[in-house]
């Protein structure tokens, strides 16, 4: 298609910046409608038929829309898509049932022999908008299952959104724009998945909508790692935190953390070492012995803040993937966040649970918590931060630090700024900070930065500092810059 600037002989002036032209929502819907091969269904539950409305209004919809429906009544919805085990309707499982069911129907009802060039799609959403009392802002699952060639397997993009607006009508309109962006991007931006994420916000603002989970699947995305897509969501400011499971797939944090006891260990894990796992295991043993803590209802989380992923100001994605691969190999659930301060992490967990929260940390981390410079942006300063950090049912499990003279620093002799001394005592004597007293002394001499230095320098001996199986994985996958020593053979 001829470039519009050239077509209109548009004048440019030296020094002009190139501005990417964003098609209007109407233009996006119209382009889809005017493509004689794209044909599919719209199934929208819970927030009106806002996405399909964009396509009807754009014109030419008869060539694109095979069916549009909303099964609002629960009995009708169950009759069409089946009954969920948890009896819930705004879930990923429900969305996937909707997508699969509608694709099956269109394959059955549209004769391929008469429509050899047709590429089918199914768009669906299941959403709960803000409630009447405006206590719950609303959320939903949105997805598309589609082909790019008639004889090609289907691709999928499934995402979870949280609404930030305080009016149901505005949320409905936002959903309609998002849905149109998703369908358009699925067909016309699938070759650049990272840009596709940004295009989902065309004509939207991040104050309107949060995307906290997204998963890609299918032949068009065979080279896409969903963990990297998670990282992009946080990096682009689309959400504050994302989570992925040991299998590497993105998971909804709310689903994992809801009403759970949570034990979190923050670190750079560059790479994960025996000391990290010793901290985790020993604090876990203490945590599950606490009152009110049911081991069956406990979720452990290894958290990496975005600041721990930056190298010289930029996020090293390969380095991130190396850390993620190792943590997943150890069966851990990983949270990537932009929470530099611990109180923000606790606030985030508190969105999903009122049960006990535990934080495992080393001495240096606890000293930083009592540093006022991190709270100057708060009107209430450190007291406001501590109110948010400790007013919940929270406990800090402190791992000791080995000093150069062979002595140990624990909660009993830890030194904070003199102005913070009495405040520290208050939390210490109220049982908010407890020492991990059982630990492996050999691990106190293990430091991730030293392990990384030894790997980079090609030295030996670092293997003994790693959890079982991790050293072999680093060697097999050449993680963290590991290079196998070449074996020379006589010719």
Question: Tell me: the pLDDT tens digits for 80-120?
Answer: 999 888 888 999 999 999 999 999 999 999 998 888 999 99
Note the pLDDT of residue 139: 95
Q: What is the pLDDT of residues 195-241, one digit of tens each?
A: 999 999 999 999 999 999 999 999 999 999 999 999 999 999 999 99
Q: Tokens standing for 232?
A: 């992009």
Beta bridge partners of 156: 145, 217
Element (H, E) at 337: strand 334-337
Note the pLDDT of residue 133: 67
Spatial distance between the Cα atoms of 179 and 33, rounded to a whole number of angstroms: 15
Q: DSSP secondary-structure letter at 8?
A: T
The sign of the dihedral angle between the CA atoms of 257, 259, 260, 264 is: positive
Q: What is the pTM of this model?
A: 0.89
Note the pLDDT of residue 488: 41
Spatial distance between the Cα atoms of 26 and 46, rounded to a whole number of angstroms: 23
Distance of alpha carbon 244 from its chain centroid, rounded? 7
Residues of the chain under the 70 pLDDT cut: 1-9, 133, 311-313, 392, 484-491
Nearest to 246 by CA among 362, 366, 165, 327: 327
Note the pLDDT of residue 286: 96
């Amino acid at each position: 298609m001829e470039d519009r600037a050239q077509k209109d002989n548009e004048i440019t002036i030296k020094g002009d910046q190139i501005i990417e032209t964003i098609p209007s929502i109407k233009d996006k819907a119209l382009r889809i409608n005017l493509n004689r091969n794209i044909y599919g269904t719209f199934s929208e539950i819970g927030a009106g038929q806002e996405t399909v409305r964009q396509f009807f209004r754009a014109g030419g919809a008869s060539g694109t829309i095979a069916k549009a429906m909303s099964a609002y009544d629960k009995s009708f919805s169950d009759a069409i898509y089946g009954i969920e085990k948890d009896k819930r309707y705004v879930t990923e499982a429900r969305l996937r049932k909707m997508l699969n069911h509608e694709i099956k129907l269109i394959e059955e009802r549209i004769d391929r022999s008469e429509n050899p060039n047709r590429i089918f799609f199914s768009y669906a959403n299941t959403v709960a908008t803000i409630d009447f009392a405006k206590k719950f802002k609303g959320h939903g699952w949105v997805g598309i299952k589609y082909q790019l060639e008639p004889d090609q397997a289907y691709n999928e993009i499934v995402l979870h959104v949280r609404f930030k607006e305080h009016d149901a009508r505005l949320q409905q309109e936002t959903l309609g724009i998002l849905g149109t962006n998703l369908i358009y991007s699925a067909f016309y931006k699938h070759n650049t998945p990272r840009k596709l994420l940004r295009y989902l916000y065309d004509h939207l603002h991040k104050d309107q909508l949060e995307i906290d989970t997204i998963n890609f699947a299918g032949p068009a995305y065979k080279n896409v790692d969903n963990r990297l897509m998670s990282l992009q969501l946080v990096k682009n400011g689309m959400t504050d935190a994302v989570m992925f499971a040991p299998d590497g797939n993105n998971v909804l944090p709310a689903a994992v953390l809801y009403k759970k006891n949570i034990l979190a260990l923050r670190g750079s894990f560059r790479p994960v070492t025996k000391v990290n796992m010793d901290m985790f295991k020993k604090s876990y043993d203490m945590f599950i012995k606490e009152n009110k803590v049911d081991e069956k209802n406990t979720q452990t989380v290894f958290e990496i803040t975005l600041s721990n992923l930056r190298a010289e100001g930029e996020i090293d994605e390969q380095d991130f993937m190396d850390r993620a691969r190792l943590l997943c190999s150890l069966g851990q659930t990983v949270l990537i966040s932009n929470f530099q301060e611990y109180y923000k992490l606790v606030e985030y967990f508190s969105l999903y649970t009122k049960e006990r929260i535990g934080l495992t940390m080393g001495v240096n981390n606890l000293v930083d918590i009592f540093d006022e410079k991190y709270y100057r942006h708060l009107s209430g300063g450190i007291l406001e931060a501590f109110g948010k950090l400790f007013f919940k049912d929270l406990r800090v499990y402190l791992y000791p630090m080995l000093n150069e003279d062979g002595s140990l620093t624990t909660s009993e002799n830890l030194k904070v700024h003199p102005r913070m001394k009495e405040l520290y005592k208050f939390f210490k004597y109220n049982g908010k900070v407890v020492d991990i007293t059982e630990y492996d002394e050999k691990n106190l001499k293990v430091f991730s930065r030293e392990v990384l230095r030894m790997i980079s320098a090609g030295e030996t001996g670092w293997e003994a500092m790693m959890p079982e199986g991790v050293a072999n994985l680093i060697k097999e996958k050449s993680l963290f810059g590991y290079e196998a020593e070449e074996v020379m053979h006589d010719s």
